[in-house]
Amino acid sequence: MSRGVMLMSGGIDSPVALHFMLRQGHEMTCVHMDNRPFTDDSPLAKVVDHLELLRVRYNQKIPLVLLPHGPTQIKLMRETDRHVGCVLCRRFMWRSAERLAVREGATFLATGESLGQVASQTLSNMRTATASVSLPIVRPLIGFDKSEIETVAKSIGTYGISTRPGLCCQAVPSKPATRSNLVQIAAEEERIDVDQMLDDVLRHATVL
Amino acid sequence: MSYYTLALCASKGAFEAIPLPKLSLDLADAKRRLETAGIGVTDARVMLIAAMEREVTLSRDGRVLIKSLDADEAARVFDKLRRVIGLPDVSSAPAAPG
């Protein structure tokens, strides 16, 4: 089976997606985008606990890499249009994961996204966000509805961890765009030095 | 007249003070006042992150998020913030219309 990089948020969906990837026998490295100070310590603690549980279940090491995302968010908030902030944020997450994947010799990226749950998961925004990377993206939950995902999460024991109290992302704009296009996004990214920002992210990677 | 309620936020991860009606804060001025009071501030343009006894996020519309799960501590931190930058006091009742 192949080797991939899985984005882990601490929420309900990503550990379920990871469970399906591991069940198929893929070798996964997990990455958590550390969104502090726009959140608190709870998302990271949840990811750590999710992985502890799935490591035991699948008898695998499952490395976890922590990448700083707070400084990126601050830069985006200062320099770019807030309306498309979630799409720009997602593009940075994808790019960071892709850079890590290349470094780790992984051949695909994976995520717990399913269609239409939040602004970042409309088809339009997913397309714009993922146009920033070239590795294939696997979405094991894409056609699941929330209740189906929750049922699996409960059956594998990750639901209780995911639903512990925690702080939602404070960088989400009050009215995030549900549609976006690449021309608009490219213009926003002209205002910032994307490569330099990604270099900084990867330079501060921490393996937990 | 503006007022705040101070309560656990929806995800129960912090205390949140919400002004009603929304305010329109001068964040540059708030930042100056906080720094003058010796409080470290990260300026994210549309919000400030203040390194108080607990980390505090202050949005332009006056929403304040205090990263604490202790109601007394959150109230203390909010009261200090309120006095430093001149926000309205906490109230438990909505302002009278009109």
Q: Which of A74, A78, A165 sits opposite B13 (nearest CB)?
A: A165
Mean pLDDT of chain A: 92
Return the residue in B64, B67, B69 with the most chain A beta carbons within 10 A, the one to mutate for interface testing. Answer: B67
Least confident of A188-197, B74-83, B85-94: B85-94
Per-residue pLDDT tens for B3-16?
677 888 877 888 99
Q: Is the pTM of this model over 0.95?
A: no
ipTM of the complex: 0.71
The CATH code of domain A3-207 reads: 3.40.50.620
Per-residue pLDDT tens for B23-78?
889 999 999 999 999 999 999 888 999 999 999 999 998 999 999 989 999 999 99
**CA B14 to each of CA A168, B74, B98: distance values in angstroms, whole numbers, following the listed order:** 9, 9, 32
pLDDT at A172: 79
**Cβ(A125)–Cβ(A19) under 8 Å?**
no
Could you give the CA distance from residue A50 to residue A118 in angstroms, rounded to a whole number? 22
Which 8-state DSSP code applies to residue A119? G
Per-residue pLDDT tens for A143-163?
898 999 999 999 999 999 999
**pLDDT beyond 50 at A196:** yes
Could you give the CA distance from residue B63 to residue B85 in angstroms, rounded to a whole number? 13
Tell me the CATH architecture of domain B3-85: 2-Layer Sandwich (3.30)
In chain B, domain spans: 3-85
Distance from CA of A175 to the nearest CA of B (A): 13
In chain A, domain spans: 3-207
CB–CB of A77 and B45 under 8 A? yes
**pLDDT beyond 70 at B95:** no
CA angle A26, A129, A92 (to 5 degrees): 80
